[in-house]
A and B are shown apart, each in its own frame.
Chain A
Amino acid sequence: MDDYVEVPMASSQRKKTSFNGDGLVVFLDVKDALEAEKVLQRAGYAVRLVAPPPQLRKGCDLALEVNLTEKPGIERALEQKDIAYVEIVPMKAGTAELLQVVKLTDFGRWVMVKAGNMKLSFDKETGVIVNSSGGGCPDIPYLHAELVDKKLHDVRRPKDIGFTLCAVMMDRALEECLEVWRGGDRS
């Protein structure tokens, strides 16, 4: 029961390079924000998922930080793909960055990756996801059923089939699991 190791912070945490924009695309639903991120990234725009300022929050919210100077092109790209958004506004104080840090716990045969409130564990020998835990949004039990007992490479991405911030964090955990699996970092 005791043979587990939380990998030291220095090697277990990676922080992605961040982009700082001056505009914000506001959405009604997390799902729309996730689709917009994909569309705009494919179109070559620098974007970053962030929390909208407090006065625009309902409880499970996501906005996209963008370069305001690119507003016309961004509007056009979103409209062409029929992605609903509320407005594109200048960035104000009060936006918050999504948690980027991940932590790894080595259980010997299994690794648990923790991204924010979401944890994903896989078998180091087979690459099979054996469990997901944490979170509290309604798509998490659904994603648990979709991911568990399948290979890391075979599952659909949580951010493609989920709808909430918990799904975004589970996607981060999956991304890290894939990186560990590909890298053979099985210490």
Chain B
Amino acid sequence: MKFRIIAAVVLAAALATVASTATGSIKRATAQSVTVWVMTDAQNGWPGAIAAANAQFQQQHPGVNINIQYQTWDTVLQKFDAALAANDAPDVIELGNTQTAKYMAAGAFSSLKAKNFPNSSTWLSGLKSSCTYRGKLYCVPYYAGARAVIYRKDMYRQAGIKKLPTSYAQWLADGKKLMKKFGKNPNFSAFYEPGQNWYVATTFVEDWGGQLAVQQKNGKWKGTLDSPQAVKALTIFKSMVRKLSRASKSVDEAHPFPSIPFAKGRMASFIGNGWEWPYVFDPKGGAAPKSFAKKMGAYPMPSHIKGKYMPTFLGGSDLGIPISAHNKALGADWIKAFTGTQSETLIAKAGNIANTTKLANVNAHNPALAPFARAAKSSWFVPTSPNWTNVENSHLLKQMLTAILTNQKSVAAATKSASKQITTILNASS
């Protein structure tokens, strides 16, 4: 009898394990609905743009149900892969501009005609090229973002900084002044830099003349983080972080968003995207009072060459239509509505760079956001290999930075092993 109970318990446990690993499936789209996957950034940052697009789409297609499903960057690709495998892909999906290459190369998107979409002749060239594979267009530019330093005017003033820095050396000296003035508070950072923010680390690498990887004449890729320029830049980066930042060295810039501790007065500056400015006041973000804005300012990160800016990462997003989408035409119409001038203006006003150069001056007279547009004039981008997203997904850059910043590995050793891994991943057959 006892054995039977034991057997029943084991069987129940086994079944529970199986049941808990089964995942829910996505609701199948019907002919009368369009399913859209966009990131939660839109939900938090520019819900007005979504509403405007939906209204325009509804006018065109009354009675068609719009099913917006907000996704997070951490899991969207896994879910997308599962949806592709199940022939249940959404009609529109937002992907980061570093992720599109892999999916275009694998044939995940249907090809599009640029002239069918608004403002296509003035699309940002950086975004357009992230949507182009072997001469064909597979997605539509959505928006771009640039990073700049967001800082506390009052703290800079109290530390005796009269003029914003115009060179890296001066910037570093200012940081030391801030640490001297406020550093007794163990939570204070002159420059809050989460250790795994590889966008900022790579910005240093690019400024000192290095690169993540280069494509050789034979078409093969080579990781170049162990080049003398990159090693020098990362050594400088390490010394800066260890002196001026008390952020965790083992998390990235989304855990937490620096705007949250910024709103709590824990730092004098951090490098952030334009949309992080409003996030300081967002009740779900920093929840700072409106009056806090008077104390805030922004400036592009100064280069080690006096008078220049460090190149910023031109991050951004694109909207594609999966090859197995059920309602491709409806998806295209929704994209047209969402990337039209009306919605794009709202997206830009939320702190982004619109997908068209026509709207380049939307924020020109906004002292908060103009520095981001200035920073965007000099930019860098990740290697254009379809395998690049596998490098990002393996988090090896983040782990390399943690190893460097916590002294687990020397800069030379860490960059050497990271470069080797990058070379292997970029050259792997997909």
- The answer on A and B forming one complex is no
What residues make up the interface of A, taking CB atoms closer than 8 Å to B?
none
What residues make up the interface of B, taking CB atoms closer than 8 Å to A?
none
